[in-house]
Structure 1
Amino acid sequence: MRVRPRLWIVPVLTVLVAVAAALPAFSRPGAGEDHRVGAVAPTKAADAGRPVARDVVLAVHGGAGTALRRETTDPRKEKAYRDGLADALKAGRRVLRDGGDSVAAVEAAVRVLEDNELFNAGRGAVFTEDAGHELDASIMRGSDLAAGAVAGVRSVRNPVSAARLVMEKTKHVMLAGEGADDFAARNGLPTVTQDYYWTQRRWDELVKAKNFLKGPKAEKATKGGKGTGAVREEITGTVGAVAVDRDRDLAAATSTGGMTNKMAGRVGDSPVVGAGTYAKNGTVAASATGHGEVFIRGAATATISHLIEFGGRDVASAAYEVVVGRLPRLGGTGGVIALGHEGTLAAPHSSEGMVYGYLTEDGDIVTRLFPDESSSDG
């Protein structure tokens, strides 16, 4: 009996192959799920997973949140942000040019940001629900994974320096509350009273947050995981720095006043190693900003390092996958600056905006405030 050729098999097989090839793109984290609820206006699609710059030795950020817009930002405000970021980069540049290491560079840069009331760290920190200030900070050295952190300090002028003292002068990683304040004072760090941190801007934000809680949207916002004072903040103001020195050693540091109207005693991701801060030679130095609880639950900065070390990813794609592909699915947004030992810098964010700047090996300083400045140079 003669077998008739089944000509229909060829087109059917062609369709099946095409479908099979498309499936990984839909299942891969960060590929088909970047724009789910919570991933608000992330890094431009054309630049997804690409570096923003190369040959970088130091980078800083000043927080993430609702984007600053050219058309609505007062020129004086724009200048204040750019000058604040540039001053921090210049402080770190002086350290590196004088032969200092990456740890000293990130500490110097973050100290400048802590002293600038424009940012939510040190002077200018946000208020807790009881109208106080509780500050958190951490620092990490990539060469040996040494780290130090302080949480809930109330009288340290520069929490990042207290974090470095914990790393270098104790066998611990984190000290909290009164014990951390006392430790910093005993070791000669300048102390301040609570009114040092006070600014009119932050007080107004606290009042706004408390008024919001009295309104009809409060219950919905709280159930949505947006915290006790869910008011859209332009830029959260958490600060951080990452650096690589002449020995190619990495370091990272982060400092914050937390969330406006946060519960007294609340600790976010900034002092948590592997969440808000991480540095490991050969992978990445990273500092995060955003919804702290989500960055803790997602082990954000450590996961970036693990994707590079164990997943064979590059710095930019690893950072993008975590910040834009994974964390929004946990219910929060934010951003990260991530620096590789070869000088590749990534700055992905799932929030509308993030302010940051960087210093190149040639000494050039670049600051980026507006969304249209976040395109890739790499």
Structure 2
Amino acid sequence: MTIALAIHGGCGTLPKSEMTDAEWAEAKAHLAKSLRAGWAVLSKGGSAVDAVEAAVVVMEDSAHFNAGHGAALNADGEHELDASIMDGATLAAGALCAVKRIRNPITAARALMQRGDPLLLTGPAGDAFAQAEGLDMVANDYFSTERRRKNLASMKIRELVGTMAGASEAEKHGTVGAVARDRAGHLAAATSTGGYTNKPPGRVGDSPIIGAGTYARDGRCAVSGTGKGEYFIRYCVGHEIASLIGYAGLSLQDAADRAIAELSAHRIGAGLVAIGADGTIVAPYNSEGMYRGWVTPDGLVHVATHADVDMVGQA
């Protein structure tokens, strides 16, 4: 059976001029590391759920992406993190939102999924659950980076002078996610984010909402989205793509393109990665760039930040 893996690091990609060549190289190296972590699971016969968790953990630990270390700051200068994971074989899922102390929120979401009930925990309850599970806990400032502090200052100024609409995708938001198909044909999806810069405390986006930013269903697809979460929730994007495949008979590419087109009509940044039941991979986006990558069936790792895609060796 064909194994498949794709990831994204958010459609909030910086313009090329705003990072050095060395910084871009490091960001791509972290994408490749994420893919290799997930592929190592799949190639050894591991589950799609294990693979997407492994891939997302790597990106949560990287300062280049808006999840875990490197997450966006809210209006109070704090980090509130969201994450979810879904098993396409059983439709089991786990999700956390507005947590502040969990080093790897995706691992906590996985632990909650394994418990089975509840599916979603918020804020202090999510942090308490992760601590009781013995997961790595950190101080909130562990997630901070100089770039995110500068982003918050920039957005505060824009708010004062009325230029919020002119903010770049990179200033505003970003997300990480992974989708996979294992040797048994099962699908899984995982998504993690810090939300958007200067968001109101307590705001929850689409990443922890099953059917919106994260969805997986065997026989149809697995989807992880990135962009303006409020619209992903309104359109139930993940579930919509699965429904277009299941009920309208669309291909994965056509279904994903239709979903992005509907979001684009609102003039918002949006992107996603998705895997079909047969292992087909798509990664549409409408912004200047999207951190993304996938592994082809021959084990070759491909990563990209803007239009050009680089092949960076074997997984």
Decide: shared fold, TM above 0.5: yes
* Aligned residue number for residue 216 of structure 2: 279
Q: Deviations over 1:309-339 (max 9, x none)?
A: 000001011000001x211234522101011
Indicate the SS of the match to 2:170. coil
Do the aligned partners of 1:278 and 1:286 also contact (CA within 8 Å) in 2? yes
Do the aligned partners of 2:11 and 2:169 also contact (CA within 8 Å) in 1? no
The answer as to 2:5 corresponding to 1:58 is: yes
Do the aligned partners of 1:254 and 1:277 also contact (CA within 8 Å) in 2? yes
Alignment: residue pair count: 308
* Aligned residue number for residue 342 of structure 1: 278
Residue number among 233, 248, 253 corresponding to 1:316 in the alignment: 253
Do the aligned partners of 1:58 and 1:89 also contact (CA within 8 Å) in 2? yes
The alpha-carbon deviation at position 365 of structure 1 amounts to 0.4
Indicate the SS of the match to 1:59. strand
The alpha-carbon deviation at position 237 of structure 1 amounts to 3.3
* Aligned residue number for residue 193 of structure 2: 256
* Aligned residue number for residue 96 of structure 1: 42
* Aligned residue number for residue 192 of structure 1: 138
* Aligned residue number for residue 313 of structure 2: none
Amino acid at match of 1:296: I
C-alpha distance 185-72 of structure 1, shift in aligned 2 (>3 A): closer
Q: Deviations over 1:247-294 (max 9, x none)?
A: 010000000000000000000000001110000011110100000001
Q: Deviations over 1:88-119 (max 9, x none)?
A: 01111111123210000000000000000111
Alignment partners' CA distance in 2, 1:295 and 1:131? 25
Alignment partners' CA distance in 1, 2:133 and 2:162? 48
Alignment partners' CA distance in 2, 1:182 and 1:215? 39
Amino acid at match of 2:59: L
* Aligned residue number for residue 132 of structure 1: 78
* Aligned residue number for residue 102 of structure 2: 156
The alpha-carbon deviation at position 159 of structure 1 amounts to 0.3
Segments of structure 2 that go 5 or more residues without pairing to the other structure are 311-315
Q: Deviations over 1:191-237 (max 9, x none)?
A: 0011111111100110111011111435xx3xxxxxxxx62133743
The alpha-carbon deviation at position 362 of structure 1 amounts to 1.9
Alignment partners' CA distance in 1, 2:188 and 2:229? 20
For residues 1-378 of structure 1, the aligned pairs below 5 Å read: 57-65=4-12, 68-69=15-16, 74-218=20-164, 221=165, 231-234=167-170, 236-323=173-260, 325-373=261-309
Alignment partners' CA distance in 1, 2:276 and 2:182? 11
Alignment partners' CA distance in 2, 1:353 and 1:169? 37
Do the aligned partners of 2:11 and 2:271 also contact (CA within 8 Å) in 1? yes
Report the TM-score when normalising by structure 2.
0.93
Report the TM-score when normalising by structure 1.
0.78
Runs of 4+ in structure 1 off by over 6 angstroms are none
Indicate the SS of the match to 1:246. coil
| Higher fraction of strand | 2
Alignment partners' CA distance in 2, 1:372 and 1:93? 22
C-alpha distance 93-331 of structure 1, shift in aligned 2 (>3 A): same
Q: CA RMSD in A?
A: 1.7
Do the aligned partners of 2:174 and 2:196 also contact (CA within 8 Å) in 1? no
The alpha-carbon deviation at position 372 of structure 1 amounts to 4.0
Segments of structure 1 that go 5 or more residues without pairing to the other structure are 1-54, 222-229
C-alpha distance 111-96 of structure 1, shift in aligned 2 (>3 A): same
Do the aligned partners of 1:243 and 1:252 also contact (CA within 8 Å) in 2? yes
Q: Deviations over 1:337-377 (max 9, x none)?
A: 01112111111112222110001222110001122449xxx
Structure with the greater alpha carbon radius of gyration: 1
Amino acid at match of 1:60: I
Alignment partners' CA distance in 2, 1:151 and 1:72? 30
